[in-house]
A and B are shown apart, each in its own frame.
Chain A
Amino acid sequence: MIDIRKDRGSFRDPRGSVYIARDHVYRTVMPRAATDFDAVRSTAAWEELLRKQWVLPEDKVDPEVLGDTGKGAIYVLEHPKLPYISYPYEWSFPLLKAAALLHLDVHLLALKDNVTLTDASAYNIQFQGPNPVFIDHLSFRPYHQGEFWIGHRQFCEQFLNPLLLRSVLGVPANNWYRGAQEGVDVSEINRLIPWRKKLSWKMLSHVSLQARFQQASIDNSKKNNVIGKRKLPKEAFIQMLSSLRSWILKMEPADTGKTVWVDYAETHSYTDQEVAVKKQFVHDFVHAGIRTVWDIGCNTGDYTKVVIRAGVDRVIGFDADQKALELAYERACSNELPFLPLFLDAANPSPMQGWAETERMGFSDRSSPDAIIALALVHHLAIGRNIPLDQVVSWLVGLSRSGIIEFIPKNDAMVQKLLCLREDVFDDYNEDYFLKSLQSRARITRTKVVSASGRRLVCYER
């Protein structure tokens, strides 16, 4: 009997749960969900959602696969296992925007056949490369004439408001989102956005009015009863969804124009020839056993592209720079790369959090790659963030059994830049100590100096 465990984030919906068994993902459909489940599956819209790959595929399997765990379930579904689970607080602006648009598109298509969604959680969307996919198969149920959009507030808090934070105020939502989990509260975004930015019908209704009505209901609970008798015509429901869609489609980050980023990938302190040597070294590192790579400090994805070209199946990139992440996303889309660039402050990675501190998994608890690449990263942590060099190496080696780490010596221009305004207290920051730290944890398989300043790339295996 294989080890089966319930997904720790799957407990809110009594209509079914998700179970993980090694490389398989199963979902139980409990009796209370059966009628809705069958009704939705008989529609053409459902077929189309699957055909367009907007919803993750599902296969009905023998409930016996789950043994006693599956007892009481009407159906057991199997889904393909996603290589990496990411959370909205790790998404850059264009990822959150893509997720929001998919959510609306899925809902609009479903409504064509009178199917609606029970909620609007951003956690129900995952990414395969840069492409979003809807993963909560029990969120779908038949639509009843005149019903309200129950997920509207949740959509605003988990998609719309975080997008407004960046597109109107120029503030990335990641840190706020990570703290609040459920997104940005309606009343909070209403307080932040200045009145002169609210002079549009969309802003007025979804932000100001919603916040004001919420406030109003504290003073006058009778209104709720009046509203309870009112019906929202289907065409008004669809209009709400499609106007949100066209609004979000036009949103761009307010703090930067696209033209500013063009030079972004080009700014580095070494020559083209040195870059070519570095790329060749990274290319040669890849072998058949490496399928998933994490690129820690991926920037705009220059070296991600190299390892993908060299034959890896997918790269999950991590960086703390929003502009670099946005450029990386564009590159992934335009070159159709299996590349998902995510927001990560390596000195403060996503923790285990949510209910019981297990609902959302920490950065390194989710999965483990076949290899990591950490280029031009170590000095940011060791000098930029005062993390002892030995601990930086230990953390990186702990993430994967193999990888490439770049060490940049103190005399390099980039390190000098970090040191120019502060006292050099980093006595241990030297190549010898770096190599010694690495050797105490792993075997060094290849190494090469790739720049005149003495930057060194090191491959390790443990």
Chain B
Amino acid sequence: MQNKLMVMIMAIIVNLLFIKSAYAYLDPGTGSILLQGLIAAVAGVTITGKLYWSRIKDMFSRKAKKHGEPPEKD
């Protein structure tokens, strides 16, 4: 949800930045590639976020195991 919000804010900024119209030849795929670059950046943030989140969760679950359940055998 936060990611979507961030992208929406970026979208609004981009919309405000480029309001003039131009007719020029360009590779027609550029817009798609730039969009995917943005999605890639957002995904990068998400993955990093997930990694940290799982580390935090791990920290707590290890503690929980110490208190409650017997340690697993090898």
Measured between C-beta atoms, what is the minimum distance from B35 to chain A in Å?
A: 5
Known: A152-B36, A230-B37. A216 touches B17 (CB 8 A): yes
Contact yes or no, B31 A236, CB < 8 A? no
Q: In the complex, which of the residues B18, B29, B42 contacts A150, with contact meaning CB atoms closer than 8 Å?
A: B29
Q: Select the stretch in B20-28, B52-60, B61-69 that faces chain A.
A: B20-28
A223 to B33, CA, bound (A): 10
A223 to B14, CA, bound (A): 13
Q: In the complex, which of the residues B7, B26, B35, B40 contacts A231, with contact meaning CB atoms closer than 8 Å?
A: B40
**Total residue contacts A-B, CB cutoff 8 A:** 108
Measured between C-beta atoms, what is the minimum distance from A254 to chain B in Å?
A: 24
Q: Does B4 make an interface contact (CB < 8 A)? A: yes
Q: With a CB–CB cut-off of 8 A, which chain B residues contact A192? A: none
Contact yes or no, A212 B36, CB < 8 A? no
Which residues of chain A from 2 to 41 have any CB-CB distance to chain B below 8 Å in the complex? none
Known: A214-B31, A216-B17, A218-B22. A236 touches B43 (CB 8 A): yes
Contact yes or no, B7 A201, CB < 8 A? yes
Q: Does B51 make an interface contact (CB < 8 A)? A: no
Contact yes or no, A209 B43, CB < 8 A? no
Q: With a CB–CB cut-off of 8 A, which chain A residues contact B33? A: 148, 224, 227
With both beta carbons as reference points, the residue of chain B lying nearest to A204 in the complex is identified as B11
Known: A153-B31, A214-B28. A232 touches B36 (CB 8 A): yes
Measured between C-beta atoms, what is the minimum distance from B22 to chain A in Å?
A: 5
Known: A209-B14, A212-B18. A201 touches B41 (CB 8 A): no
Measured between C-beta atoms, what is the minimum distance from B26 to chain A in Å?
A: 6
Q: Does A264 make an interface contact (CB < 8 A)? A: no
Which residues of chain A from 173 to 200 have any CB-CB distance to chain B below 8 Å in the complex? 186
Contact yes or no, B35 A205, CB < 8 A? yes
Measured between C-beta atoms, what is the minimum distance from A379 to chain B in Å?
A: 45
Q: With a CB–CB cut-off of 8 A, which chain A residues contact B30? A: 213-214, 217, 224
Contact yes or no, A235 B43, CB < 8 A? yes
Tally A residues with Cβ within 8 Å of B.
Answer: 35
Q: With a CB–CB cut-off of 8 A, which chain A residues contact B41? A: 230
Known: A150-B29, A152-B32, A152-B36. A209 touches B22 (CB 8 A): no
Tally B residues with Cβ within 8 Å of A.
Answer: 30
Known: A204-B11, A226-B37. A210 touches B43 (CB 8 A): no
Residue in B11, B32, B47 whose Cβ sees the most chain A Cβ within 10 Å? B32
Which residues of chain A from 142 to 156 have any CB-CB distance to chain B below 8 Å in the complex? 148-150, 152-153, 156
Q: Does A208 make an interface contact (CB < 8 A)? A: yes
Measured between C-beta atoms, what is the minimum distance from B47 to chain A in Å?
A: 6
With both beta carbons as reference points, the residue of chain B lying nearest to A234 in the complex is identified as B43
Q: In the complex, which of the residues B11, B18, B36 contacts A219, with contact meaning CB atoms closer than 8 Å?
A: B18
Contact yes or no, A214 B38, CB < 8 A? no
Contact yes or no, B24 A218, CB < 8 A? yes
A213 to B10, CA, bound (A): 12
Measured between C-beta atoms, what is the minimum distance from B44 to chain A in Å?
A: 7
Q: With a CB–CB cut-off of 8 A, which chain B residues contact A223? A: 34
Contact yes or no, B40 A233, CB < 8 A? yes
Q: Does A215 make an interface contact (CB < 8 A)? A: yes
Contact yes or no, A232 B40, CB < 8 A? yes
Which residues of chain A from 63 to 118 have any CB-CB distance to chain B below 8 Å in the complex? none
Contact yes or no, A215 B28, CB < 8 A? no
With both beta carbons as reference points, the residue of chain B lying nearest to A215 in the complex is identified as B18
A219 to B30, CA, bound (A): 12
Q: With a CB–CB cut-off of 8 A, which chain B residues contact A239? A: 43
With both beta carbons as reference points, the residue of chain A lying nearest to B41 in the complex is identified as A230
With both beta carbons as reference points, the residue of chain B lying nearest to A187 in the complex is identified as B31
Q: Does A414 make an interface contact (CB < 8 A)? A: no
Q: Does B2 make an interface contact (CB < 8 A)? A: no
Q: Does A240 make an interface contact (CB < 8 A)? A: yes
- Seen from chain A, the residues whose Cβ lies within 8 Å of a Cβ on chain B are 148-150, 152-153, 156, 186, 201, 204-206, 208-219, 223-224, 226-227, 230-233, 235-236, 239-240
- Can you name 10 extra interface pairs (CB under 8 A) apart from A153-B28, A204-B11? A152-B32, A209-B14, A209-B31, A214-B30, A215-B22, A224-B34, A232-B40, A233-B43, A236-B40, A240-B39
9 closest cross-chain pairs (CB), A and B: A214-B31, A236-B43, A213-B34, A153-B32, A227-B37, A217-B30, A213-B31, A152-B32, A210-B31
Q: 20 interchain pairs (CB within 8 A)?
A: A148-B36, A149-B32, A150-B29, A153-B28, A204-B7, A205-B39, A210-B31, A210-B32, A210-B34, A212-B11, A212-B15, A212-B31, A213-B35, A214-B34, A216-B17, A217-B26, A227-B33, A227-B36, A230-B37, A232-B36
